[in-house]
Amino acid sequence: MSLRRRSLEFLRRRLRGEALPVRLAFWDGETFDFGPAPSITITLHSKRLIRLFLTGNMAALGEAYVRGEIDVEGRLQDIVRLGIGIAERLGRSRTLRRLGTLAAYRPRFRHTRKRDARAISYHYDVSNDFYALWLDRRMIYSCAYFHTGTEDIDTAQAQKLDHICRKLRLAEGDRLLDIGCGWGGLLIWAAQRHGISGVGITLSRAQAELAQARVAEAGLRDRIEIRLQDYRDIEGAESFDKIVSVGMVEHVGTANLPAYFAAIARLLKPGGLLLNHGITVADRNGHAQGPPGGEFINDLVFPGGELAHVSRILYEIAGAGLEPLDFEDLRPHYPRTLLHWVRRLEANAAAAIEAAGAERYRIWRMYMAGMAYAFDAGWLGLAQVLAVRPAGGRPAPRPWTRRYQYDPAAAVPHAGPLDWGEL
C-alpha cells in the first residue's frame, strides 16, 4: 500500500470509521472514497494538502480553496456540513470552538478611523455589480425578515424594511440618521413611505456613490443626504428624531462600543428612538463558537470584525444614557437569508467571477454558507434592540403593546407616567 493510501486509511480511522460520502481526487488521477456512493468530490491539486487534511487545519484548507488548489463539487450545504464534521473530529483542540464566526474579541486590531475605513473598503468596495448579482433588488445586505419562510428575497427584505420603520414609529417630517447606510435602500424606503428626511453615512466609497445615484433617481436629493463619513465625525447634538444602525455594530470593535453608543445618544433628540440591528454571539462572555477555522472569516472576509453577546449591547446602550425598550432575536431569519444569497451567487457564478475575480467568488460562496450553518447551529444570533433617549429626567412614554409593529392600522396608545394625584 502506498504512503498516500496508508495516510488516508489513518485519516479514516481518525474519523471513527464513519462512512463519509466523499471522494478525494488527486493531481495524478488517483481517487480515494471514504464511503460508498460519494456525493462530494474534493480534488487536490497539491501534495501538501494531504497533510492539512490529516491535521484538520481548516483555516489553511479554506485558503487553499480560495487560491484554487482545491476544487469541491457537490451541494454546498453538504460541503459545509462535511467541513464542520472534519474540523470537529480533527481540530487542534476540542475545547477551541471557532468555525464560521467573526472573532468575538481580537485585541490586535485597533479600530482607528484609518483602519476601519480600510477594513470596510476591503469588504464592501469589491464591486457594486458583484453585490447586485445576488442581493435583492434594493441591495439590502443584512438579515431579511420572513413571515412564513417561503418568501423570495425581495419580499423578505421589503418586510424587514417595513418592520424597522414600524418599530421606529417613523412619521412625516422625522429626521432619520442611518449609520452604515449601505446602498441607501432603507433611507429611500423610509422617505417614500413615511415622509422622512435623512442622512446616511458609510465608509465605502462604492456604496456612497451608488446610494447617491439611487437617491437622485428616486427624486429624493432634497430630502436624503449620503455622506462618506465615520460615525465619530458627525458633528452636532440632538440633530435627529430617529437613528437606525443595521449591520454596523459588528465593525465598531468591542472596546469602542461605549463611544459608539455615546455618539448616538448625543445625536438623538430627547425622546428620540434608536434601532440597533446586529449579529451577536451566543456565549455570554463573548467567546466565538464552533470548531477550528474562524481565521478564514477574520482574515479573508471581515478584517477587524468583533461580536458581543446581546447583554453587552444592552449594557453599553444603557451606559450611554439610553433606555432599552424592546429586544427581538431574529436568528432563524439569517440562515434562510444567507441561503438565498449563496444560491443566487452560485447561479450567477460566471458574472460574479468577471465582476470580482475567482478568489472573491470562492471566499463569499464559502463564507455565506458557513455563516448560515453557524446561525442555524445557534452559535450566532441577530439582535434588534430598540431604545429611547429619555427626556426631562423621566422615563420615556412607550406603547402599551407591540401591536403597532405588526398592524399598520393599529393606534399607538402610550403608557406615560402615572398621575399620582388620582391614586
| CA dist., res. 157 & res. 161, Å (int) | 6
Cα–Cα–Cα angle for 359, 360, 364, rounded to 5 degrees: 120
What's the pLDDT at 322? 97
What's the pLDDT at 197? 98
What's the pLDDT at 224? 98
Distances (CA, A) of 43 to 33, 80, 200, 239: 12, 16, 46, 57
What's the pLDDT at 33? 82
Distances (CA, A) of 299 to 102, 109, 122, 167: 10, 11, 11, 35
Q: What is the second-level CATH architecture of the domain 113-407?
A: 3-Layer(aba) Sandwich (3.40)
With H, G, I as helix, E, B as strand and everything else as coil, classify residue 311.
helix
What's the pLDDT at 93? 38
Cβ contact 288:280 at 8 Å = no
What's the pLDDT at 131? 96
Domain ranges for the chain: 3-74, 113-407
Q: What are the cell numbers at 327?
A: 429586544
What's the pLDDT at 95? 31
What's the pLDDT at 124? 87
| CA dist., res. 92 & res. 18, Å (int) | 20
Each of the 423 residues of the chain gets a pLDDT tens digit; together they read 565 666 666 666 666 555 678 888 888 888 888 777 888 898 988 888 877 776 667 777 778 888 888 888 888 777 877 777 766 666 543 333 343 344 343 445 788 888 888 888 888 888 999 999 999 999 999 999 999 999 999 999 999 999 999 999 999 999 999 999 999 999 999 999 999 999 999 999 999 999 999 999 999 999 999 999 999 999 999 999 999 999 999 999 999 999 999 999 999 999 999 999 999 999 888 777 665 555 677 777 878 888 999 999 999 999 999 999 999 999 999 999 999 999 999 999 999 999 999 999 999 998 898 899 899 989 999 999 999 999 887 888 889 999 999 988 888 888 877 777 665
Whether the pTM exceeds 0.85: the reply is yes
Report helix, strand and coil shares of the chain as percent, to nearest 5. 45, 20, 40
